Amino acid sequence: MTLQHPYTVMTVCTGNICRSPMAEIILRAQFERAGLTDRVRVESSGVSDEEDGHPIDPRAVRVLRARGYEIPAHHSAHRITRAEVEESDLFLPMTFSHMRALLRLIPSDRRGDVHMYRSFDPDLPRPAAGQEDKLDLVDPWYGGAHEFDVAIDQIEQGAPYIVDWVKRQL
């Protein structure tokens, strides 16, 4: 981390229109409250390009606004790029399948930079190796308002622990 390159947190989901932008917005707000906006940058991406160029899902926007979060003026869904892999310090996949996809893109000496988003929550049990999917953040895409509420609850629950962890890395 330098002034030219702040500590970069990359949230990752499938298409970069629901979970990862929600986590990006929530974490950015948490880092701002912690007074770390000059030292920490939060970004989001997907492991797929299926939603390339699309904005944040309107259902995600609705639940974020209902909780008082500011929505960025522009969001363009995209697949994580090689440059983003190189520039990011912490990767937060939303599910175990996202983690597996990321690990194929990240150099082996950087695998320790990948942590499932919900793995920071001390109230969740630590899953056995190979059962990390027990920490998957719910996928609201095929659901309705309830699934988006569950997703934002899960994201908000883990956010303070992620902020605390990053503070210790700075």
Give every CB contact of residue 91 below 8 A, 6+ residues apart in sequence.
10, 12, 102, 106, 113, 114, 115
Alpha carbon 23 to chain centroid, angstroms: 5
* Contact call for residues 44 and 51 (beta carbons, < 8 A): no
Q: What is the set of active-site residues?
A: 13, 19, 139
**Nearest alpha-carbon partner for 45 in 32, 36, 54, 35:** 54
Q: Return the exposure string of 95-127: e unless at least 16 CB atoms fall within 10 Å of the residue's CB, then b.
A: bbebbebbeebbeeebeebbbbbbbbbeeeeee
